[in-house]
Amino acid sequence: MSTHDLRTRVREQAKHRLPAPVVDRIRARASLRERVRVLEAEAQESRQLNRRIAELTDVVAELLIPLDARDQDRVDEVLARYQQGL
């Protein structure tokens, strides 16, 4: 029997011998770990969306500058950077 199998078996046996409040705390921790994992994934997604919004804001700001006052090379650069991110 491998060490992993032995640990799993001992944990299963221990669950049936532990008082209910202890088992509840163990389950709550597992639930909290899952919630943290989900929240971390959502935070990462939020960071990516915020970056895309910032890039889009840069594009819009460059396009709203009057034609005679804007730097066309800068506009082309911003648009190219935005299109690469799509």
Condensed to tens digits (0 to 9), the pLDDT of residues 53-81 reads 998 888 888 777 776 667 778 778 877 88
Which residue in 82, 40, 39 sits closest to 59, CA to CA?
82
Share the mean pLDDT of the chain.
81
For residues 17 and 10, give the distance between their C-alpha atoms in angstroms, rounded to a whole number. 11
Instruction: State the pTM of this model.
Output: 0.50
Residue 82 · residue 51 · CB < 8 Å: no
Give the list of residues 6+ apart from residue 78 with CB closer than 8 angstroms, or none. Answer: 58, 59, 62
> What Rg value do the Cα atoms of the chain yield, rounded?
27
For residue 75, what is the enclosing H or E element? Answer: helix 72-85
Q: What is the pLDDT of residue 42?
A: 95
Tokens of 81: 């950077």
15 confidence band (pLDDT: 50, 70, 90): low
